[in-house]
Copies of this chain bind each other. A is one copy, B any other.
């Protein structure tokens, strides 16, 4: 269908990223495929009954407010709940530091809108979260990268990267998407020290921080930054912190938040007014009703148990079924692990064969902002059942053995 719109698209649409991977992932949505592709939480841990009761209470007692327009900043009791929630993880802020967003993806988009001029450099991990690249490339961002190893963002080239004048540093310190890797404590301190020295602020994206299955909780970058100057843990504003209910309550409500200095919140509010006026009042009130009274913390314990078991099953199945020469990370939390194939293999080719065997994952190269990673793969362990994890990894193992010309022992 030819229309007059066809030659009117803005230049930025050329930077909005191909949908090749999206098309490939559509293949994996067939019901007979065991997919480790999506970043999907498990419906087994959705608090369905709590949502049903919360909707009932909200529509019985607060229907007028829940169904009406609301403030762009978000529903105040929810912002206050988030203040209390984050305080227990060491982030001391007030509601004027909180903006409710329609998922963390919107937070990334709004940050791009208020911060990125075309050609601005952003210092990101390589690989990093694809959604951030997608949001920011539309505003003309360019990227300088800090390669990842098994302890997170490496610090070796950091000073050189900072000297190139990035607008900000983007870091996912806990169980990173896509690699599952956690930024080591010493590196967190080093990152803050270098960021301070070069005057470059930080965006910390932390959707999975509470989903830790082993080891000790590490303080967030925003917390360490606040402690670095004062004896009291008072928010300094150098670090913008993002988190979400998508992995702890449910992603289908699109409920997340930004912690930022008031001046940044004011700009984000202006941008959000133009973007969607406000996040749905109804789902904000429902989220508040579900989360309050300690439910959120109790529920997170259940999720840790379920996902921790699935991670263990997947790691065990990989040990059993994957050929020598394939490596993978051992994440201490989160939803993903990261496989590395021998360099002569291409993960996109492997995926095609895998789909024929009714199993799927995400090839890693799109997560690399400046190229690379052809032989890497992101594998989700939260969504599939224990049986499907074993069966899917066994199938994937057979594909890998065949691709590598080996025979299972």
On A, residues with C-beta under 8 Å from B are: 1, 3-6, 8-13, 16-17, 19, 22, 38-41, 43, 46, 48, 51-52, 55-56, 59-60, 63-70, 102-103, 105-106, 108-109, 113-117, 120, 131, 134-135, 138-139, 167-168, 199-201, 236-238, 240, 250-254, 260-264, 267, 270-271, 273-283
Q: Is the CB of B109 within 8 A of A276?
A: yes
Q: Is the CB of B274 within 8 A of A253?
A: no
A-B contact sample (6 more), CB < 8 A, given A3-B238, A283-B283: A5-B263, A10-B116, A12-B114, A52-B59, A69-B251, A254-B279
Specify which chain B residues have a CB less than 8 angstroms from the CB of A240 in the assembled complex: 5
Q: Is the CB of A5 within 8 A of B201?
A: yes
Specify which chain B residues have a CB less than 8 angstroms from the CB of A51 in the assembled complex: 59, 63, 67, 282
Q: Given the known inter-chain contacts A66-B252, A68-B252, please indicate yes or no for A263 contacting B138, CB distance below 8 A.
A: no
A196 to chain B, nearest CB (A): 9
A22 to chain B, nearest CB (A): 8
Among residues of B, the one whose C-beta sits closest to the C-beta of A270 is: B16
Docked Cα-Cα span, A135 to B301, in Å, equals: 42
Q: Is the CB of B263 within 8 A of A131?
A: no
Docked Cα-Cα span, A9 to B114, in Å, equals: 6
Q: Given the known inter-chain contacts A237-B3, A270-B17, please indicate yes or no for A68 contacting B138, CB distance below 8 A.
A: no
Among residues of B, the one whose C-beta sits closest to the C-beta of A383 is: B68
Docked Cα-Cα span, A263 to B3, in Å, equals: 9
Among residues of B, the one whose C-beta sits closest to the C-beta of A69 is: B251
Specify which chain B residues have a CB less than 8 angstroms from the CB of A116 in the assembled complex: 10
A141 to chain B, nearest CB (A): 11
Residue of B134, B262, B279 touching A274 (CB-CB under 8 A):
B134
Most buried by B among A19, A199, A275: A275
Residue of B66, B69, B120, B283 touching A280 (CB-CB under 8 A):
B283
A96 to chain B, nearest CB (A): 10
Q: Is the CB of B68 within 8 A of A59?
A: no
Most buried by B among A1, A8, A41, A274: A274
Q: Is the CB of B270 within 8 A of A13?
A: yes
Docked Cα-Cα span, A240 to B9, in Å, equals: 14
Among residues of B, the one whose C-beta sits closest to the C-beta of A196 is: B4
Q: Is the CB of A6 within 8 A of B253?
A: no
Residue of B117, B261, B277 touching A10 (CB-CB under 8 A):
B117
Q: Is the CB of A237 within 8 A of B270?
A: no
A68 to chain B, nearest CB (A): 5
Among residues of B, the one whose C-beta sits closest to the C-beta of A97 is: B1
Residue of B1, B135, B252, B263 touching A261 (CB-CB under 8 A):
B1
Q: Is the CB of B131 within 8 A of A252?
A: no
17 contacts between A and B (CB under 8 A): A5-B261, A9-B114, A9-B115, A10-B113, A10-B139, A17-B274, A48-B64, A51-B63, A52-B59, A56-B56, A66-B252, A67-B251, A67-B252, A68-B250, A70-B252, A106-B276, A138-B274
Docked Cα-Cα span, A248 to B41, in Å, equals: 33
Among residues of B, the one whose C-beta sits closest to the C-beta of A201 is: B4
Residue of B40, B65, B120 touching A68 (CB-CB under 8 A):
B40
Specify which chain B residues have a CB less than 8 angstroms from the CB of A5 in the assembled complex: 115, 201, 237, 240, 260-261, 263-264
Q: Is the CB of B52 within 8 A of A52?
A: no
A159 to chain B, nearest CB (A): 17
